Amino acid sequence: MKVCVIVVTYNRLQLLKPCLYSLMNQTRQFDDIIVINNNSTDGTKEYLEGLEKIRVINQDNSGSAGGFNRGLKEAYNEQPDLIFLFDDDCEVYTNYLETALNYIEKSELDLSKPVAATSITYEEGRKLFFRGVSEGKWIKAARAEILYETEDLGFPFMIINRPLLETAGYPHTFWFTIMDDIEWADRIRKNGIKLFILNFEGGIHRVQRTIFKLFGRELENYAYWKTYYFYRNSIIYRRMKNKHLGIIRSIITLPILLLYPNNKFKRFSLGLKGILDGLNFKL
């Protein structure tokens, strides 16, 4: 069985190093490791040039959406049986690939048909929950011998095959970031493809978040430039889903940006632009 892995990176060299180390030191080796470098300026390009057995694609920054779109097209041309997706802040256990292939074999998933799955992943010291997999359902999932159906999947730790790409298509590049994997998972399900969690622990997603409290609620102090995509993409996604109430909720949260601890006016300006572009469906 031929297996390929895609990693998308941008200016996170200190996280990328352990990610690639974990992928290159598996008990069962990947046949092809593709790294999409979104025009990093922190020495990532130079570091990757010194690595062997890795295919590096340097391109202009197109976000996670454009990175995975490009990586999947490159991988598809190599005709692998399975494709694994990772952010640059992911680390897998040494026997990850060997275990994943064993579980896929035991699950009797038909690889001649579209497949979309993931493993149990830890994020910030807790299991990463997907939509449709609540705390209680994890208990039920733990009793499942091989796999458990879910309603959602994200890019990190995602496992797919070529028939899925032929059926559901690729991630849309216009998202850039935020909502890109959520919309793709929706599209996969709309094509009648079930999403599964393989019941083994695959690794860790080292998400870096800064949290602050506002009126007793915890909010993420994300990089201010993401504000535009948060508002634009949220509105576009909800328009696609005909969730008009959600659009209104997005709009009325705009003034909260003026209460953020930093870059509040930049956030407000970017949020306003995002709302306008989202309402005008500007991609």
DSSP the chain: --EEEEEEESS-HHHHHHHHHHHHS-SS--SEEEEEE-S--SSHHHHHHT-SS-EEEE----HHHHHHHHHHHHHHHT--SEEEEEETTEEE-TTHHHHHHHHHHHHT--TTS--EEEEEEEETTEEPP-TT--HHHHHHHHHSSSEEEES---STTEEE-HHHHHHH-PPPGGG-SSSHHHHHHHHHHHTT--EEEEEEEEEEE-----EEEETTEEEE---TTHHHHHHHHHHHHHHHTT-HHHHHHHHHTGGGGGGSSSSHHHHHHHHHHHHHHHHTT--
Q: For residue 149, what pLDDT is reported? A: 85
Pairing of strands 116-123, 82-87: unpaired
Instruction: Give the distance, in angstroms, between the CA of residue 56 and the centroid of all CA atoms in the same chain.
Output: 19
Token pair for residue 30? 């990947």
Q: For residue 219, what pLDDT is reported? A: 92
Contact partners, residue 21, CB within 8 Å, separation at least 6: none
Per-block average pLDDT, block size 10, for the chain (283 residues)?
98 98 98 98 97 96 98 98 97 98 95 95 68 51 72 92 98 97 96 93 89 90 96 96 92 96 97 97 92
Domain ranges of the chain: 3-205, 211-279
- pTM for the model: 0.93
Residue type at 100 in one-letter notation: A
Q: For residue 140, what pLDDT is reported? A: 53
Residue 23's nearest CA partner among 59, 51, 61 is 51
Q: For residue 145, what pLDDT is reported? A: 76
Crossing angle of helices 63-77/180-190, nearest 10°? 50
Q: For residue 271, what pLDDT is reported? A: 98
What CATH number does domain 3-205 carry, 3.30.200.20, 3.40.50.2020, 1.20.120.80, 3.90.550.10? 3.90.550.10
